[in-house]
Structure 1
Amino acid sequence: MPERSSGRRPAALVIGGGMTGMLAAAVLSDHADVTVVESDVLPRLPAPRKGLPQARHAHLLWSGGVRALENLLPGITDRLVTRGARRVPIMSGMVSKAPSGQWFRRFDDARHLNLVCSRDLLDSTIRTEVLRLPRVTLRERTELIALEGDADRVTGVRVRGSVGDGVLSAALVIDATGRASRAPVWLTDLGLPPVEERVVDAGVGYASRFYRAPASTGEDFPIVNVQADPRRPPGRGGIILPVEEGRWLVTLSGTRGGRPSRDNGEFVPFARSLAHPVIGDLLAGAEPISDVVTTHSTANKRRYFEKSPRWPAGFAVLGDAVAGYNPVYGHGLTAAAQSVLALKRVLAGHALDSPETARHIQRRAARPVGQAWDLAVGQDVLYPGATDETPGRLERVAAGFIDRAVDAGARNPHALRVLLDVMSMERPPARLLAPDMLFRVFLGRKEPLLDGPPLTEAERKAAGL
């Protein structure tokens, strides 16, 4: 039976009004009166905002994240689809070249339905749904200055904002401020020990641009993805993500010595310089409708809050504030949604204001964070200069096995299904070591390797290839 809190309904604070913060507010509203504190002014319609510059680059929600999102806000995926998002069966709806060079065959299978849209649409739709909840209040243009309380319990936050400075009290404070979170500083200011951190930085730079898709490509044109190979630096890759309003969001990437520039005239030539020129060839028939935007804020950075020897009651950290990942792997949104689902499950069994609740939240949220971290770092650690240490034998053996698993997945539908179970964060990485998968990796039947991207004849014609 869940613990019961006595007295009136408690107050909860969520710091940060992005996707993670809004989902956390929805969960907390079942247990408390919730105030979302946001330093930005949040647009009422899908639009860029200062506090979310990464929204201009490609995002997708893996099927494990879609399931978590639907659990948190039932019916939200239908509302997103109504507004232009797409459910993409990833086994048939993606044309992808693996880091090790193979083209994945496309198999008819709807087991893994990824959600594809712009980040602006995703955040706007979630925000609209959450702010309709009667116990959720938004306080914009308000910045958190410090935590209130002591090393044993956080009792609220000190803020500075457009309506003045002050203290907001709460039984539980959730930090969802993203990569820029100052939680480690706030905690040491309370007298707690420094938080263990790790950074793995492959030195990736991103350049993105919106295109008007050729009208003949229609709504079902596949995602096209040419992945970078960490064994052949600089690692260059790219993706075409068909999003709402007949647009393609194109993101190109490259590591140190091979990063894309923000020069509009160099965008297509860079795309043609990838391991295969298909993205550049497709862009030749599309109309650019924005300038190129770039970012170098792509390092994998994890804060091991769950390992802290002391943790204050009344405070928890979720989303990118715990760990940010190289965006090329697309796991940030999925890990965030699953972390908020962990919050929901903890609160089903523990009172929001119980002394141990925050510690339980932090430890449960670390599970999806750990899986996303391993998936990203397992590749990025191989890039020169990514860490201060040379990858060890175990890391190289693991990378070699992943190459074998990817080769099997590229040519065998069962192996691809298992591989996507893990990549979609629906199953743990240990699933790759199950007997049925090991058989297909080392002994199973495989289709011949493809010599080019598996676009259908109709898709090639529609794209003008």
Structure 2
Amino acid sequence: MTALPSSDARVVVLGGGLVGTLAAAALAPSVREVLILEHDSALPDTPSPRARLPQAAHAHMLWAGGADAMEELLPGVTGDWLAVGAHRIPIPNGMVSFSAAGWFRRSWADTHYLIGASRNLIDWAVRERVLRLPNVRVQTGTKVCGLEGDAAHVLGVAVRDTQGERRLIAADLVVDATGRNSKSTQWLRDIGGPQIRETVVDAGVRYASRKYWAPQGTETGWPVIHIPADPGQGEPGIVATIISIENGQWHVSLSGTRGAEPCADEDLYEEFARRARHPLVAEFLARAEPAGEVSVFSRTANRRRHFEQARLPDGFIAVGDAATSLNPVYGHGMSAAALGAVALREQARRTPVLAPGFASKAQHAIARPAAAAWMLAVGQDRFYPGAIGRRPTPADRLVARYVHRLNHAAIGNALVVRKLTDVMAMRRPAHVLAHPGVLLAAALGPSTPQLDGPALTPKEREVLARPPLRTLGAAPANPAK
């Protein structure tokens, strides 16, 4: 039996992407109608690319916290992903990672997971479930031109359809889910609303991504291979990641901060991977066949629009990248948006959407998981050479030293591994890292010796033992050291 809505409100969501559909799922149980306005002329009914989603060409990690949140909003969506080829990768043992303090072991109990899939597949499964909700519908081919209302209350949006006709769509609540390109800060000023303060931290990250056919025998059960940068080295950082996705493919993303940006040249792609702190990713790529071209993406600045601090008119909220956009290298954008959607749903359960002050309360609730992801990202990005934004303070440097110490302890301490993964997977807030037991473990350090190379399984070593399919200019390093 479908639950009756708690109010007669009509919600208009701007944007039919992942964040917009999650917001629709969050609000649908509490309102009469949710109308999603989408600029594209059509939304794919298969896991296909969208022209206005360039970041889908790059590898995405959907951490356990975000996947759990989506499952809570849309029960069964995890099964939808897995049924069409996504991977549920156990964490920590399903990840080969070279932290600034050394190689992580893979002998702990698996306590978390992540979903390995293309962004197109993740979005599609969510969209399919949301658009089956009886009070949710989508209107495509619609360009939003601005907000209607005044400084006290937003009453709807002005739009133009495919024929260029301008009209008003009335709404009791407008949800901006238009992403990094959101114009709502200007739209609010246009109706006499507040100036929204912005904070930007930009390490100048550029992405270059490519799909490869997984070598025979690695189509399933393959770990994430992740070579992160070390911001403490005082030089540009390079990150290299392989993650298994559907259709027997690896999705590979290489990125570099300002001064070490990758390019779109296919002949240089694997050479750039070798410039990471360890050549393991490059060695695996040399034994895999490319399945597509190199795609680049540079709009990676961390940008926080502080809507929650402004005196917003009733009837308006901003979600996802429209409020807080993150450097995608940390893989927290989707998870933060999903957790924000859960917070939005809970607020709508407590406070009727038509009640004065609902939007302000909802904006504060949405901001909390976004702020947690923001701190994880900017806490690293501020340290790279040429980063734009506030420079690291003595407190920032103290926190960075503590995090390095935690990574050092995690090499040989199960408690620290679990707590770090709690935070990285967005299942717990960062303050769990200040628990007395974690502080003690960090002080004592690892209880086992540091590994002298990546902890690879026999299957993974067998792949490296195969002859390379391509020869690079530089002599290969020993991938097991």
Give me the TM-score of the superposition, normalised by structure 2. 0.93
1:424 Cα deviation after fit: 1.3
Q: Is the 8 A contact 2:283 2:464 kept in 1?
A: no
Q: Which residue identity is paired with 1:135?
A: N
Q: For each residue in 1:127-162, what CA deviation from the matched residue of structure 2 results, as whole angstroms up to 9, or x when unmatched?
A: 111111121111111111010111111111000122
The residue that corresponds to 1:335 in the other structure is 336
Equivalent-residue separation in structure 2 for 1:115 and 1:419 (angstroms): 18
Structure 2 residue 103 is the aligned partner of structure 1 residue 97: no
1:446 Cα deviation after fit: 2.3
Kindly report which structure 2 residues correspond to 1:42-121, keeping only aligned pairs within 5 A, or say none.
42-98=43-99, 100-121=100-121
Look up the SS of the partner of 2:255 in the other structure.
strand
Equivalent-residue separation in structure 1 for 2:211 and 2:178 (angstroms): 27
The residue that corresponds to 2:270 in the other structure is 268
Give me the TM-score of the superposition, normalised by structure 1. 0.96
The match for 2:246 among 233, 244, 250 is 244
1:32 Cα deviation after fit: 2.3
Look up the SS of the partner of 1:17 in the other structure.
coil
1:108 Cα deviation after fit: 3.9
Q: For each residue in 1:69-91, what CA deviation from the matched residue of structure 2 results, as whole angstroms up to 9, or x when unmatched?
A: 11100111111111111111111
Q: Which residue identity is paired with 2:276?
A: L
Equivalent-residue separation in structure 1 for 2:191 and 2:330 (angstroms): 35
Q: For each residue in 1:313-350, what CA deviation from the matched residue of structure 2 results, as whole angstroms up to 9, or x when unmatched?
A: 11111011111111110010010000000110000011
Structure 2 residue 172 is the aligned partner of structure 1 residue 171: yes
The residue that corresponds to 1:14 in the other structure is 13
Q: Is the 8 A contact 2:219 2:244 kept in 1?
A: no
Structure 2 residue 134 is the aligned partner of structure 1 residue 131: no
Q: Is the 8 A contact 2:229 2:237 kept in 1?
A: yes
The residue that corresponds to 1:212 in the other structure is 213
Equivalent-residue separation in structure 1 for 2:226 and 2:241 (angstroms): 4
Q: Is the 8 A contact 1:5 1:354 kept in 2?
A: no
Q: Is the 8 A contact 2:101 2:404 kept in 1?
A: no
1:110 Cα deviation after fit: 2.9
Equivalent-residue separation in structure 2 for 1:143 and 1:19 (angstroms): 18
The residue that corresponds to 1:231 in the other structure is 232
Q: Which residue identity is paired with 1:255?
A: T
The residue that corresponds to 2:294 in the other structure is 292
Structure 2 residue 165 is the aligned partner of structure 1 residue 140: no
* Count of aligned pairs between the two proteins: 458
Q: Is the 8 A contact 2:287 2:463 kept in 1?
A: no
1:101 Cα deviation after fit: 4.3
Look up the SS of the partner of 1:416 in the other structure.
helix
Q: Which residue identity is paired with 2:277?
A: A
Q: Give the gaps of 5 or more residues in structure 1.
A: none
1:306 Cα deviation after fit: 0.5
Q: Which residue identity is paired with 2:247?
A: E
Pair 204,445 (structure 1): closer, same or farther in 2 beyond 3 Å: closer
1:444 Cα deviation after fit: 5.1
The residue that corresponds to 1:35 in the other structure is 35
1:445 Cα deviation after fit: 4.5
Equivalent-residue separation in structure 2 for 1:311 and 1:446 (angstroms): 52
Equivalent-residue separation in structure 2 for 1:251 and 1:369 (angstroms): 23
Pair 388,219 (structure 1): closer, same or farther in 2 beyond 3 Å: closer
| Range that drifts further, 327-336 or 41-50 | 41-50
The residue that corresponds to 2:261 in the other structure is 259
Pair 262,101 (structure 1): closer, same or farther in 2 beyond 3 Å: farther
Q: Is the 8 A contact 1:217 1:463 kept in 2?
A: no
Q: Is the 8 A contact 1:107 1:413 kept in 2?
A: no
1:355 Cα deviation after fit: 1.5
The residue that corresponds to 1:201 in the other structure is 202
| Range that drifts further, 365-374 or 111-120 | 111-120
1:389 Cα deviation after fit: 4.0
Look up the SS of the partner of 1:354 in the other structure.
coil
Look up the SS of the partner of 1:61 in the other structure.
strand
Pair 291,153 (structure 1): closer, same or farther in 2 beyond 3 Å: same
Q: Is the 8 A contact 1:282 1:464 kept in 2?
A: no
Look up the SS of the partner of 2:217 in the other structure.
helix
Q: Is the 8 A contact 2:205 2:298 kept in 1?
A: yes
The residue that corresponds to 1:181 in the other structure is 182
1:388 Cα deviation after fit: 4.6
Kindly report which structure 2 residues correspond to 1:300-315, keeping only aligned pairs within 5 A, or say none.
300-308=302-310, 310-315=311-316
RMSD: 1.4
The residue that corresponds to 1:433 in the other structure is 434
| Range that drifts further, 52-61 or 19-28 | 19-28
Look up the SS of the partner of 2:92 in the other structure.
helix
Equivalent-residue separation in structure 1 for 2:405 and 2:101 (angstroms): 12
Look up the SS of the partner of 1:238 in the other structure.
strand
Q: Give the gaps of 5 or more residues in structure 2.
A: 467-481
Kindly report which structure 2 residues correspond to 1:386-397, keeping only aligned pairs within 5 A, or say none.
386-397=387-398
Equivalent-residue separation in structure 1 for 2:386 and 2:85 (angstroms): 40
Equivalent-residue separation in structure 1 for 2:413 and 2:81 (angstroms): 32
1:385 Cα deviation after fit: 2.2
The residue that corresponds to 2:151 in the other structure is 151
Q: Which residue identity is paired with 1:381?
A: R
Equivalent-residue separation in structure 1 for 2:448 and 2:327 (angstroms): 31
Look up the SS of the partner of 2:432 in the other structure.
helix
Q: Is the 8 A contact 2:314 2:359 kept in 1?
A: yes
Q: Which residue identity is paired with 1:120?
A: N
Q: Is the 8 A contact 1:88 1:114 kept in 2?
A: yes
Look up the SS of the partner of 1:23 in the other structure.
helix
Q: For each residue in 1:145-189, what CA deviation from the matched residue of structure 2 results, as whole angstroms up to 9, or x when unmatched?
A: 010111111111000122532111011111001111111111111
1:305 Cα deviation after fit: 0.6
The residue that corresponds to 1:221 in the other structure is 222
Look up the SS of the partner of 2:61 in the other structure.
coil
Q: Which residue identity is paired with 1:29?
A: A
Equivalent-residue separation in structure 1 for 2:178 and 2:268 (angstroms): 34
